[in-house]
Structure 1
């Protein structure tokens, strides 16, 4: 899954600063529904990752049945924290 494609699909643009609050909430809800329905592991992970980036991801034990997927998500979370500038 291409991140830009997913942003266009759920929000109509790749410029998240241009997305009105109502459209952001609707796109996030749509993504959560799709995450619950998706059975392909890689697509699930991609959806969860975008939700995580938007601070809207479900808990790992809810999102992933497989321990390896939860570990991969934890790694992503750790990496993203390291890349976030400290205040």
Structure 2
């Protein structure tokens, strides 16, 4: 599942700045429900990643039963944190 596809599926747009607070809350809720039901590891990781970026992701031990999946999520978190630090330093 591509990032833009997730945005359109859950929020109706690929521009989060255009999403109203009510639509954001509704989209996050739908995503959390689908995340809980999803069995495909790749789709689960993609949904968790977007939820993480929105500050709404479940804890790693709840989200991922497999240690390798938790390690991949930690790596994603570290890379995102580094990218955010680099972006702040570029201003």
Q: TM-score, with normalisation over the residues of structure 2? A: 0.92
Residue 23 of structure 1: how far off its partner (Å): 0.4
1:23 aligns with 2:23: yes
State the match for 1:70 in structure 2. 70
State the match for 1:51 in structure 2. 51
Residue 41 of structure 1: how far off its partner (Å): 0.5
Query: 1:9 & 1:26 partners in 2: Cα distance?
Result: 12
Query: 1:44 & 1:84 partners in 2: Cα distance?
Result: 23
| Partner SS for 1:30 | helix
Residue 16 of structure 1: how far off its partner (Å): 0.3
Q: TM-score, with normalisation over the residues of structure 1? A: 0.96
Q: How many residues align?
A: 87
State the match for 1:36 in structure 2. 36
Residue 39 of structure 1: how far off its partner (Å): 0.5
Q: CA RMSD in A?
A: 1.0
